Chains A and B, each alone.
Chain A
Amino acid sequence: MSDPVRPVPEQAPEDAYDWRRMHPVTPALRGWKVLAAVVAAIGFQLSDDVGSLVERFGPGRAWLVLLGLLALVALVGFAYSALAWRVTRYAVTDEAVHLRQGLLFRQQRQARLDRLQAVDVVQPLLARLFGLAQLNLEVAGGTGSAVQLAFLREADAEALRAQILALAAGLRPGAPSPATGEDAVPGGPAGEGAPSSADAVAPGLPADAALAGQPAPAGAAGGTRPAVPAFEAAPEQVVYELPMPRLVRSIVRSTAPWVFLAAVVGALVAVVVTREVGPLFLVGPGALGVGGYVWGRLNGAATFRAATSPDGIRLRHGLTEKRTQTVPPGRVQAVRLTQGPLWRGPDWWRVEMNVAGYGPEASNASVLHPVATRQEAAVALWLVLPDLGTDDPLGALDAACRGTVDDGGFTPAPRRARWLDPLGWRRHGVLVTRTALLMRSGRWWRTVVVVPHERTQSLAVTQGPVQRRLALATFVAHSTPGPVSPQVAHLDAAVAGALLGEQSERARHARAVAGPELWMRAAEAPHAPASIGSAAGAPGAGTPTAGPELGTSPTAAGTGTTSPSAPGDAP
């Protein structure tokens, strides 16, 4: 969506960009990786040859030779990393972030800011010790499409993130501003215009917290050489945190350890009965698997904390590797709440999201809340979708979480679906609100999926032979890659057909009024007739009713602020 209104500055030759280098410690950090990889790969292969080495050189000399080899590998690794560092440069312009890298195969990659899906600051353990961080700019290009700036000093990474987010939001330093909207946003003391979109993210924010970034006065009119980042980090307000005891208890209550325990008991019984120790050897790999799972959960979810800021949702988590994610408004494509059978007692939910940049394999990055109480789950949902589009959002969420059949106005699967899903048929259901589609399923592993209307990519209805006999059909909404794949199985065929027709209409309508990609430019949406008021009232950008509706619970539960400023009033 290149901006049709703004005169694009003359495309200066790329050499005029302000190319910068990564932090000089980078090769040291990268070199270790090379060394570890080489040692892991070759050491595994050569473990047999060590014996022959010992034979040839004698025990003392053999170790010296091994150490020498290791040093050689390390030298090559570090030298390569250093050379790679020399040619790696990045530059930030008003339109994009450019990255040049590659020693043998040169690569120049550019991430367009208006296509930015998420900005992550990642700190692996080693980088943390040096106070360094990696900046990942996620764009919706599939696996490996992210622009990774590694490594920068932590403060630099955060300043750069603030600058990139401010630019991506549409705040531009020193760009000639057409009358429309530009002066409504960064002009003026910015507390005036910005809340229209800023408060859509965080209705609870006080007005003085609404400014995303101070436009740098230093930027030249051409704008291709941004000055040292002069954007202040957007203020953030913590919405919820995950207490460590709950995380530990949630892992104890997850299914994997218990399955493992049952397997161990089974193996012991088998040992006792058969008087052979064979079955015990199967326990080892299982323990590794479960241990890896538990560690992954613990490491990824520890110190989890979510905050709102005008830049979007900000998530921090990680024990050894610290990750700070910023997901700008309107970038979450779908949300899923899941609850295993053992989480039902405390009513905990795992909240995950689809963000186009993260893709399916970044399971830790796609978590909106690892272990949420129902209240926090509502808050997490509210972060993404400030207006659930019903008059009783908490009631609708309750019906989605616990309800069966037609509780809470859901359209359920008809009774004859029990032939296809005898246990879970009562839970299949769908609810259409003004802004989103709620899908419910799962008898023991409860699942709730929420898809905003304007975020559905395409829709489908499928029907197998048995479904056809029973006049049932499955409704599918396609979403971007990620953990969430929205669908409702075994709906009445006529209902599914009607839903398909109505939903494509609704999605089209919602898209037409949805907020712009540059989320601070509500007034400059390409469908120009939309005034600020109606653009800000669009579902993606947040609605004036957002605060009063779901706001009651979230604010009471998390932020502690009680009176959400009405976002619609500001412009």
Chain B
Amino acid sequence: MTTDSPGHAPAPTAGPFDPADVAWTPVSSRLATVRLLMIALWGGGLVVVTAVVAALVGYAWLWGVPAVLAALFLWGALLVRRQVRALAYAERADDLLIRRGILFRELVVVPYGRMQYVDVSAGPVQRRFGIATVQLHTAAPGTDATIPGLPPQEAARLRDRLASRGEARLAGL
């Protein structure tokens, strides 16, 4: 490996999250809609419930709970679009790359030969909006290779592709 002199910081542009010659495929922007909807449903529900409780009990400070919750969910809702935009994956010849996160960023490299099985799942809301989630499993529980927000045909294509590539490069453990 390149033994850089550890003293100085490198130019911040060439981050480790943008490997050279990788064509990233973003996930569907419908994922943002789904996530917003989920936040609205769950978050809104929770806010309403806590507000009702506060109104019934009658302590003024109890209103702080729905207020804080509402602020948190609003903050989350504001971030959703950027988070979804940061989600991307790339198929290389021998491995799958998944990138996610803005504040806490992560780049995962999963070799096809290490894949044990692939999950494709879609909840009722996801189905309604025409997206699905593809998840790769290796023998390591630490591998978090989940790609949410794929159009169903893309998810199916990716699943078959991963399965066939995994078989071609099959290794033991």
- Seen from chain A, the residues whose Cβ lies within 8 Å of a Cβ on chain B are 1, 115, 117, 140, 330-331, 333, 356, 406, 409, 411-416, 432, 454-455, 457-465, 468, 470-471, 473, 476, 478-481, 485, 492-502, 504, 507-508, 511, 514, 517
Contacts and interface: CB of A to CB of B under 8 A. Distances in A.
Contact of A485 (B4, B103, B142, B172): B142
A494 B107 contact: no
Nearest first, the 3 closest Cβ-Cβ pairs linking A and B are A497-B16, A478-B140, A457-B140
B108 interface: yes
Prevailing SS type, chain B contact patch: loop
Contacts, number: 134
Interface string B60-95: 000000000000000000000000000000000011
Contacts of A454: 171
Contact of B107 (A415, A416, A495, A500): A500
Nearest to A472: B9
A171 to B, nearest CB: 18
Given A356-B139, A470-B9, A517 B108 contact: no
Contacts of B172: 1, 115, 330, 517
Prevailing SS type, chain A contact patch: mixed
Given A460-B106, A471-B9, A480 B170 contact: no
B123 interface: no
B6 A412 contact: yes
Nearest to A526: B170
Contacts of B12: 471
A473 B143 contact: no
A459 B14 CA distance: 19
Given A473-B16, A497-B17, A499-B1, A461 B138 contact: no
B149 to A, nearest CB: 20
A493 B111 contact: no
Contacts of B10: 471, 492-494
A414 B8 CA distance: 8
Contacts of A465: 103-104
Nearest to B99: A461
A412 B4 CA distance: 10
A410 to B, nearest CB: 9
22 contacts: A140-B173, A333-B173, A356-B139, A411-B1, A414-B9, A457-B140, A458-B140, A460-B108, A460-B109, A460-B144, A465-B104, A478-B142, A480-B139, A492-B6, A493-B10, A493-B15, A495-B4, A497-B15, A497-B17, A498-B2, A498-B16, A511-B171
